[in-house]
Chain A
């Protein structure tokens, strides 16, 4: 009896698990591509089919024009065009060939494509094949263009000369060109993020370096030992902040850099700046984007000390939350108008706000997805609390050498 009940309970558990799984998949897909409402006329269906085939070729091309992406794209492009054979080249060499006849045609492709690569115009010509049984008699060459001119060529082979093929090949080549331009856009976006990290590094320097050195100088006579310690902190802090490469760092290193920052800020502001750290040791090995907490702390110190009369308390807490680490940076300063903050996070920079917060928010979203952006609780005169939730593991996120 109990055996059967156990089996039933186990089955129920399995069903429950499967249901959750399916629900998850369903929810993940919902909002994506909607299913066809009805099948439509033959023309509509042909259009859908063409669009679907085109969408299949898009993802590999979004990574740019290389041998691997060309090989993946060539097959779908050939079925899109419906030709005997299709070839993709860059400016120098053949990247991919799909269809028959590769062995005796591949060598001639560069000369077929040379004119198109030079002029950027489509061209239809005899393939120059001696074999009467070979179906590849005509070759249509269309240019693939990017921002900086012609990147390569698409060569479509047919059995006879056809204006339709010329038109189709040109249109497909234009579509591929759009994808390649998007790939370039992706690359330039990555470069912008890298530039922003560099800008962030550069942003730390002028004021902070000047103020720190001035504060250290004030201790040189009165308290040489403290001055020496502060100089060492300063050296470590700058070494860490100006490190050349690497997008990620361990939380322990980030926090150590923040401590050095706070020690230097404390030297300048004395008793007015009070700092509390509550760090769960379990989350110290967590990897997160390089310098993503530093701007938050800097912000908290700036906000907290804007009111000259009283001091300020900055609380930095990191706690363990299952598969995530939760870091909060809190100050009891003047706070901020939420509307203004929203504008800052949108990237509109009203006078006086740095790019710190929006940069951190953007990088977190880029690495971990939209649900891991900054959560900020604030109001005018009510202090500010910034919460960052970092997953303990995410593919591709590894701490890099300092």
Chain B
């Protein structure tokens, strides 16, 4: 791949983000027939901004990688990421806007009239934000490593620096425009190359992707393994090895490996002949690729369980993501918030049609990525692999630009939210200086953890943040909006037990503490048990503390559910009526 184009594209995206963010599309006019109120953010623009902020590295790179390795069962991911907005639309969007809350902590305080509940909610906002930032930075590292060969921490550092710099230096002045721009950039970056790739694939005789059998290598392929892996063979395989297999050192020797499991030392190169079947990478407990194994099937019960876990986490977790919730504040009223969500559903749905195609094409043209453990790179290498030449380089650069747009937009949205909550509720006093300090803290922690944390496919890592959000904020929002007997002790107990247990399970799994088999499946997909646990705790503890129902509950619920024209919080503009 030609590095120059890719580096230029990434630089252009970074510059565009910083410039639009810093200067903004300045609304600068004199007063002549110009009404500020009619300039509120339209649902279409706001929806593009929400989508831009939402579509992260997991969507842009991760899904294709998972489909490549595990097959079409992974399409539950895009389905879940999209359907989360349906739940948000039906249950939460309009009341959340009408509550007047900016962050989720504000909502907890407004609904429960309890500063303690606010502080607890803030801790979860920060936790979920960090959990979500971590894969963004790791994905950036991977992308830059593939593009330029830089060490894998450079990309994460670059994104962290750009985001911290722009956010701390006076914030993103016109964040809505930046994020909306990023959405359209990401959609273009994924849509244009796929058209060329599909044309080439059709010209190639439209080979079918095989997910039920080992993938077949199409050309003479040399695979260099960075990590030590175990591979499983069903039939004898002839490869040319430079390095060490099964503790025997070879130098450019052709070896025939017998069926069974083989141990390949890190740094070994395997050269496959055209038409050779690709060996499976055997899963081990701490193997990052073993993560989604239950979802892809095989063992009884695991697949069904993991699928439900994924569905629950993504369907119910979207509403509790800190950077999604704050964007609803921009809508002028509840009805606009609902319309915005509807448009988001369309925009996000359209985007998610594409990653699956990349995954299938990757299975045909670049299956060896599954062996090296960098399947997340499938989207980036495909143009070079299928088209090659200048066109391949240009399209590859476009994809790299889109990937960086994904890291930057999601990371800046998350950093803003986390830093805002840190300044308001965690750091001792407020002020501009503390906001900068908080921004630094917001990116430094995931960056530091990212250097030491085990590599997990980005889509899975993001799924963990969804699971925690679904078990903590989903019960709080749904019960807070729809149940008048919720009490502060109930809400706090539910947050701690539901969200806390999901967080503990997720952290333990990421730290590799979970034993194999069922315990691992249960802890890697906690939503199935932790979401009901959160709801049940909230309901039971609330019922047990009926005296603690906040006195303002009826008034707040009325405000949440009645349209603004009735409660009179948004006046009808006279000028527009008359003209």
Q: Are A281 and B331 in contact (CB under 8 A)?
A: no
Q: Are B431 and A323 in contact (CB under 8 A)?
A: no
Nearest residue, chain B, Cβ from A315 = B28
CB proximity of A284 to chain B, nearest CB, Å? 5
Q: Are B176 and A282 in contact (CB under 8 A)?
A: yes
Checking B30, B176, B445, B571 against A13 with a beta-carbon cut-off of 8 angstroms, the contacting residue is B445
Whole-angstrom CA separation of A266 from B429 in the bound complex: 42
Residues of chain B within 8 A of A256, CB atoms compared: 35-37, 573
Residues of chain B within 8 A of A10, CB atoms compared: 449, 507, 511
Nearest residue, chain A, Cβ from B130 = A13
Is A278 among interface residues, defined by CB-CB distance under 8 A?
A: yes
Is A28 among interface residues, defined by CB-CB distance under 8 A?
A: yes
Interface residues of B in 250-273 (CB under 8 A from A): none
Q: A24-B428, A255-B36 are in contact. Are A6 and B452 (CB under 8 A)?
A: yes
Residues of chain B within 8 A of A321, CB atoms compared: 170-171, 435
Which listed segment binds A: B100-108, B476-484, B489-497, B517-525?
A: B100-108
Whole-angstrom CA separation of A398 from B555 in the bound complex: 12
Is B24 among interface residues, defined by CB-CB distance under 8 A?
A: yes
Q: A280-B174, A321-B171 are in contact. Are A2 and B454 (CB under 8 A)?
A: yes
Nearest residue, chain B, Cβ from A21 = B426
Checking A280, A392, A401 against B173 with a beta-carbon cut-off of 8 angstroms, the contacting residue is A280
Q: Are A401 and B103 in contact (CB under 8 A)?
A: no
Residues of chain B within 8 A of A8, CB atoms compared: 452
Whole-angstrom CA separation of A278 from B23 in the bound complex: 12
- The count of A-to-B residue pairs whose CB atoms sit within 8 angstroms is 177
Q: Are B37 and A393 in contact (CB under 8 A)?
A: no
Q: A281-B330, A282-B330 are in contact. Are A232 and B578 (CB under 8 A)?
A: yes
CB proximity of B226 to chain A, nearest CB, Å? 15
Q: Are B507 and A277 in contact (CB under 8 A)?
A: no
CB proximity of A68 to chain B, nearest CB, Å? 10
Residues of chain B within 8 A of A278, CB atoms compared: 26-28
Interface residues of A in 258-302 (CB under 8 A from B): 259, 262-263, 266, 274-282, 284-285, 287
Q: A7-B507, A20-B427 are in contact. Are A281 and B39 (CB under 8 A)?
A: yes
Residues of chain A within 8 A of B171, CB atoms compared: 320-322
Is A9 among interface residues, defined by CB-CB distance under 8 A?
A: yes
Q: Are A323 and B423 in contact (CB under 8 A)?
A: yes
Is A34 among interface residues, defined by CB-CB distance under 8 A?
A: no
Residues of chain B within 8 A of A36, CB atoms compared: none
Which listed segment binds A: B204-212, B305-313, B562-570?
A: B562-570
Interface residues of B in 426-454 (CB under 8 A from A): 426-431, 435, 441, 445, 448-449, 452-454
Q: Are B28 and A239 in contact (CB under 8 A)?
A: no
Residues of chain B within 8 A of A351, CB atoms compared: none
Is A306 among interface residues, defined by CB-CB distance under 8 A?
A: no
Give the one of A23, A24, A281 with max B CB within 10 A.
A281
Q: Are A284 and B40 in contact (CB under 8 A)?
A: yes
Checking A4, A280, A392, A395 against B110 with a beta-carbon cut-off of 8 angstroms, the contacting residue is A395
Is B238 among interface residues, defined by CB-CB distance under 8 A?
A: no
Is A5 among interface residues, defined by CB-CB distance under 8 A?
A: yes
Residues of chain A within 8 A of B247, CB atoms compared: none
Give the one of A8, A26, A278 with max B CB within 10 A.
A278
Nearest residue, chain A, Cβ from B449 = A9
Is B29 among interface residues, defined by CB-CB distance under 8 A?
A: yes
CB proximity of B429 to chain A, nearest CB, Å? 7
Residues of chain B within 8 A of A7, CB atoms compared: 507, 511, 513
Interface residues of A in 239-254 (CB under 8 A from B): 239, 250, 252-253
Residues of chain B within 8 A of A26, CB atoms compared: 428
Whole-angstrom CA separation of A13 from B58 in the bound complex: 24
Q: Are B110 and A393 in contact (CB under 8 A)?
A: yes
Residues of chain B within 8 A of A21, CB atoms compared: 119, 426
Residues of chain A within 8 A of B172, CB atoms compared: 320
CB proximity of B23 to chain A, nearest CB, Å? 11
Give the one of A24, A26, A252 with max B CB within 10 A.
A252
Q: A9-B449, A275-B31 are in contact. Are A284 and B332 (CB under 8 A)?
A: yes
Is B416 among interface residues, defined by CB-CB distance under 8 A?
A: yes
Q: A20-B427, A401-B569 are in contact. Are A285 and B420 (CB under 8 A)?
A: no
CB proximity of A233 to chain B, nearest CB, Å? 8
Is A340 among interface residues, defined by CB-CB distance under 8 A?
A: no
Q: Are A281 and B423 in contact (CB under 8 A)?
A: no
Whole-angstrom CA separation of A284 from B176 in the bound complex: 13
Is B113 among interface residues, defined by CB-CB distance under 8 A?
A: yes
Is A44 among interface residues, defined by CB-CB distance under 8 A?
A: no
Residues of chain B within 8 A of A322, CB atoms compared: 171, 416, 419-420, 423, 435
Whole-angstrom CA separation of A285 from B37 in the bound complex: 9
CB proximity of B258 to chain A, nearest CB, Å? 32
Q: Are A284 and B39 in contact (CB under 8 A)?
A: yes
Q: Are B103 and A399 in contact (CB under 8 A)?
A: no
Q: Are A395 and B173 in contact (CB under 8 A)?
A: no
Q: Are A276 and B28 in contact (CB under 8 A)?
A: yes
Interface residues of B in 286-307 (CB under 8 A from A): 286
Is A62 among interface residues, defined by CB-CB distance under 8 A?
A: no
CB proximity of A71 to chain B, nearest CB, Å? 13
Chain B 16-53 interface 0/1 with A at a Cβ cutoff of 8 Å (1 = within): 00000000101111110011110111000000000000
Interface residues of B in 382-427 (CB under 8 A from A): 416, 419-420, 422-424, 426-427
Chain B 451-494 interface 0/1 with A at a Cβ cutoff of 8 Å (1 = within): 01110000000000000000000000000000000000000000
Residues of chain A within 8 A of B130, CB atoms compared: 13
Is A37 among interface residues, defined by CB-CB distance under 8 A?
A: no
Is B186 among interface residues, defined by CB-CB distance under 8 A?
A: no
Whole-angstrom CA separation of A236 from B143 in the bound complex: 56
Whole-angstrom CA separation of A287 from B420 in the bound complex: 18
Is A371 among interface residues, defined by CB-CB distance under 8 A?
A: yes
Q: Are B574 and A239 in contact (CB under 8 A)?
A: yes
Chain A 39-66 interface 0/1 with B at a Cβ cutoff of 8 Å (1 = within): 0000000000000000000000000000
Residues of chain B within 8 A of A3, CB atoms compared: 286, 454, 510-513
Q: Are A252 and B40 in contact (CB under 8 A)?
A: yes
Checking A23, A281, A323, A399 against B40 with a beta-carbon cut-off of 8 angstroms, the contacting residue is A281
A-B contact pairs, 11 of them (CB 8 A): A3-B511, A16-B441, A255-B36, A255-B37, A259-B34, A262-B31, A280-B173, A285-B40, A321-B170, A323-B102, A401-B567
A6-B452, A21-B119 are known; give 13 further A-B pairs, CB within 8 A: A6-B512, A232-B575, A277-B27, A278-B26, A279-B27, A280-B24, A281-B176, A285-B332, A319-B173, A320-B172, A322-B419, A392-B106, A395-B113
Interface residues of B (CB under 8 A from A): 24, 26-31, 34-37, 39-41, 100-103, 106, 109-110, 113, 119, 123, 126, 130, 170-176, 286, 329-332, 416, 419-420, 422-424, 426-431, 435, 441, 445, 448-449, 452-454, 507, 510-513, 559, 567-571, 573-575, 578
Interface residues of A (CB under 8 A from B): 2-10, 13, 16-17, 20-21, 23-24, 26-28, 232, 235-236, 239, 250, 252-253, 255-256, 259, 262-263, 266, 274-282, 284-285, 287, 319-323, 371, 392-393, 395, 397-402
